[in-house]
């Protein structure tokens, strides 16, 4: 169902400000992703220049940067490069993925990627992999239960990596929803009306409305269309303001 521009074409000051701040918070995470992409592309180009296929050990060069970003970007709890299956010469699939634990230490994620043993060996259908691969653009996946990597309710921000015109995999960063909520709730609380942030499919990512909590769906408006237009809208008494640069919409009851 379409969204009418109507009276809401111009977002009033506090709503536009909050939407911009939310966009800014995630933009900082995307900077982490972009830095990882630059490192990954550099490694893969260097290996290509040596006239050979990359191997999993080449990706160890990413570790200092990944550890640094995990320690310094407070919203990020996991970061790394996920290879397109077939990219590496020595293994069929690979995640060079690091996570910060409860003890603030940094740990590698070691998955069983052998399809003979694991029902979860194929990661290519997850939104955080498929969206950037299929669109060629950066993406925000979730909120979703990440039972592959962290067992946490999460947002994953990802970008495709291209080497010599070919898709090589994605770089990504995990933001646990509880950390995202801690970052955006003070912003949403400044608004005079109950407010929530929803993704392109209407899934609530954070909310000050007890009747519309994270994980629920806001049905009706076409949030994808609204995000495409980049302009505020209205839907049956709801005011809808897209967040700048990220696929989230601020919804005010």
Partner 1 sequence: MRQHEIDGGARRAVFSPVDSRARVEAVVRRIGDAIELGLLADGEQLPGESELAGQLGVSTVTLREALMALRQQGLVTTRRGRGGGSFVSLPEVPADDRLRARLLGWSTEELRDLGDHWAALSGAAARLAAQRTEPADLQPLRRTARELAHAAEAAARGRLYGRFHVELAAAAQSARLTREQVALQSEVGAMLCLVLADDAYREEVADRHRFLLSAVQDGAHETAGTLAERCVRESTARLVAVRLTL
Task: Tell me how far, at minimum, the Cβ of 214 lies from partner 1, in Å.
Answer: 8
Interface residues toward partner 1, by CB under 8 A: 56-57, 90-91, 94-95, 109-114, 116-120, 125, 143-153, 201-203, 214-217, 219
Query: Tokens at residue 144, please?
Result: 């979703």
Question: 157 and 170 in contact (C-beta within 8 Å)?
Answer: no
Nearest-angstrom CA–CA distance, 166 and 171: 15
Considering beta carbons, is residue 133 or 244 the nearer one to partner 1? 133
Q: What's the min distance (Å) between Cβ of 215 and partner 1?
A: 4
Least distance in Å: CB of 136 to partner 1? 20
Structure tokens at 178: 């509880």
Beta strands in 4-132 (DSSP E): 78-83, 95-100, 106-108
The residue (of 117 and 137) whose beta carbon lies closer to partner 1 is 117
Task: Pick between residue 14 and residue 85 the one whose CB is nearest to partner 1.
Answer: 85
Q: Nearest distance from residue 51's CB to partner 1, in Å?
A: 23
What would the two tokens of residue 74 be?
């407070």
3 and 227 Cβ atoms separated by less than 8 Å: no
Q: How far apart are CA 185 and CA 154, in angstroms?
A: 16
Please say which residue, 11 or 62, places its beta carbon nearer to partner 1.
Answer: 62
């Amino acid at each position: 169902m379409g969204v009418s521009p109507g009276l809401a074409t111009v977002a009033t000051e506090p709503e536009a400000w909050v939407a911009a701040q939310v966009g800014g918070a995630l933009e900082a995470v995307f900077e982490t992703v972009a830095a990882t992409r630059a490192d990954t592309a550099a490694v893969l180009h260097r290996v290509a220049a040596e006239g050979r296929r990359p191997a999993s050990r080449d990706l160890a060069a990413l570790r200092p940067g990944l550890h640094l970003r995990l320690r310094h970007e407070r919203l990020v709890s996991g970061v790394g490069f996920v290879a397109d299956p077939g990219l590496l010469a020595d293994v069929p699939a690979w995640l060079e993925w690091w996570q910060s634990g409860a003890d603030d230490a940094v740990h590698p994620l070691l998955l069983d990627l052998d399809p003979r043993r694991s029902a979860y060996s194929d990661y290519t259908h997850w939104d955080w992999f498929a969206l950037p691969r299929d669109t060629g653009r950066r993406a925000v996946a979730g909120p979703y239960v990440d039972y592959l990597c962290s067992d946490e309710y999460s947002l994953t921000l990802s970008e495709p990596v291209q080497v010599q015109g070919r898709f090589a995999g994605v770089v990504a960063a995990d933001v646990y929803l509880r950390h995202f909520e801690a970052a955006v709730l003070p912003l949403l609380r400044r608004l005079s009306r109950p407010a929530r942030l929803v993704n392109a499919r209407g899934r609530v990512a954070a909310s000050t409305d007890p009747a519309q909590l994270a994980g629920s769906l806001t049905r009706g408006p076409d949030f994808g269309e609204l995000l495409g237009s980049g302009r505020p809208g209205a839907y049956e008494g709801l005011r809808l303001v897209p967040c700048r640069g990220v696929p989230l919409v601020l919804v005010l009851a």
